[in-house]
Amino acid sequence: MNIWVFAEISGGKLDRTALELVTKARALGEVTAIVLGSSAEAQAGLLGEYGVKKILAQSDKVFEEYLAEPAAEVLGTLVEQHKPDLLLIAATYDGRDVAARLNVRLNSGIITDAAEIQFEGGKLKAVVPAFGATILVDVTLETNTTKLVLVRPKAFAAEKVAGGTPAQVEKISVAIPERAKRARIVENVVQASDGPSLEEASIVVSGGRGLKEAANFELLKQLATQLNAAAGATRAVVDAGWVPYSFQVGQTGKTVKPNVYFAFGISGAIQHTVGMKGAKYIIAINKDADAPIFKFADLGIVGDALKIIPALTEELKKRKH
């Protein structure tokens, strides 16, 4: 099988999802990564460590200047020319925009949100968690063209290969028509947060509407600092404007898979839990003994988060000294 991966660059660096996807792709067949962006060729080393033998690289800043269309243009043209068996794209913000255009351009259909992918007797089978991951649906694409699959971030763990060497770089320069340069990125604002990122932290400390007001979220951040954790939030909190969207965990936010996930004042709506159920240990603190989050928390405490958070921070501080 000829497996292609759209290895996305974000902020000049290879997105972590690219390494997750190539790791999975390795198990399915021969991997080619498509890398688009000013630093495209420079990614050969890192991709090589993850077992990629060959990359198609187009070094052009046009991919950083406009949304989706230039990348969709290049991928569409390449797929039409080379007809790989499968193209994997990560369900990131940009990945989704690119995939939606390819679905139409290639008239191929698409599987979205795949958490597992396999070929059975030459037939593609993907597993898609549906309805807040309460059921797992097996889906396929009944086509004989390149199969398009949008993969859920964190579905696969990135793993290096032993003795990986830099991938061979094939430079490409697919023409990008003026028409594809319409959605222009005028400004890129990074809302820096201290400590580890939500996706990478081994402890996530999340807060919900139960924290009552924006100021109380600061208490949560102090606890996060003590634990060297990342702070997360529910959509209710993000919509209320207490913290930026980059904190949101869940269906329309980030998927996290930390070792420990703390849920303070979070009810446990499925749109939230779908983003954190993969945590190894879940500790929930909620005033309401009937809150749905207690149905699957490993340690549940029926109590007041606003009292417990500062007290826990103090206790952890004491223990350090």
Q: Which residues bind ligand FAD (CB under 6 A)?
A: 208-210, 234-237, 248-253, 265-267, 269, 271-272, 275, 285-288, 291, 304-306
Q: Which one of another protein, ligand FAD, none interacts with residue 78, CB within 5 to 8 A by kind?
A: none
| Residue 304 binds another protein (CB under 8 A) | yes
Return d(Cα 108, Cα 146) in angstroms, integer.
Answer: 7
| Nearest CB to ligand FAD, comparing residues 148 and 284 | 284
CB of 303 to ligand FAD, least distance (A): 7
Distance from the first to the final alpha carbon of the chain: 57
- Return the bridge partners of 171, or none: 57
Q: Which one of another protein, ligand FAD, none interacts with residue 245, CB within 5 to 8 A by kind?
A: another protein
Q: Which one of ligand FAD, another protein, none interacts with residue 40, CB within 5 to 8 A by kind?
A: none
| Nearest CB to ligand FAD, comparing residues 95 and 250 | 250
Place of tokens 């405490």: 301
| Nearest CB to another protein, comparing residues 57 and 284 | 284
Place of tokens 């580890």: 196
Backbone phi and psi for residue 133, each to the nearest 5 degrees, phi listed first: 60, 25
Q: Which two three-digit tokens encode residue 89?
A: 């794209």
Q: Are strands 123-130 and 116-120 parallel, antiparallel or unpaired?
A: antiparallel
Return d(Cα 51, Cα 168) in angstroms, integer.
Answer: 11
Of residues 64-123, which lie at the interface with another protein (CB under 8 A)?
67-69, 72, 92-93, 96-97, 99-101, 103-105, 107-113
Of residues 188-247, which lie at the interface with another protein (CB under 8 A)?
188-192, 203, 227, 235, 238-239, 241, 244-246
CB of 216 to ligand FAD, least distance (A): 9
| Nearest CB to another protein, comparing residues 45 and 137 | 137
The correct pick among 34, 74, 133, 167 for binding another protein (CB under 8 A) is 133
DSSP string covering 241-299: TSS-GGGBBSTTSB----SEEEEES----HHHHTTTTT-SEEEEEES-TT-GGGGT-SE
Q: Which one of the spans 44-52, 54-62, 207-215, 305-313 is the region binding another protein (CB under 8 A)? A: 305-313
| Residue 177 binds another protein (CB under 8 A) | no
Residue 167 gets which letter from DSSP? P
| Residue 154 binds another protein (CB under 8 A) | no
For 253, other C-beta atoms within 10 Å of its C-beta total: 22
Nearest to 4 by CA among 80, 74, 72, 89: 89
Helix H or strand E encompassing 202: none
Return d(Cα 93, Cα 100) in angstroms, integer.
Answer: 11
Of residues 256-285, which lie at the interface with another protein (CB under 8 A)?
259-260, 277, 281-283, 285
CB of 108 to ligand FAD, least distance (A): 26
Contact string 11-30 vs another protein (x = CB under 8 A)? x-------------------
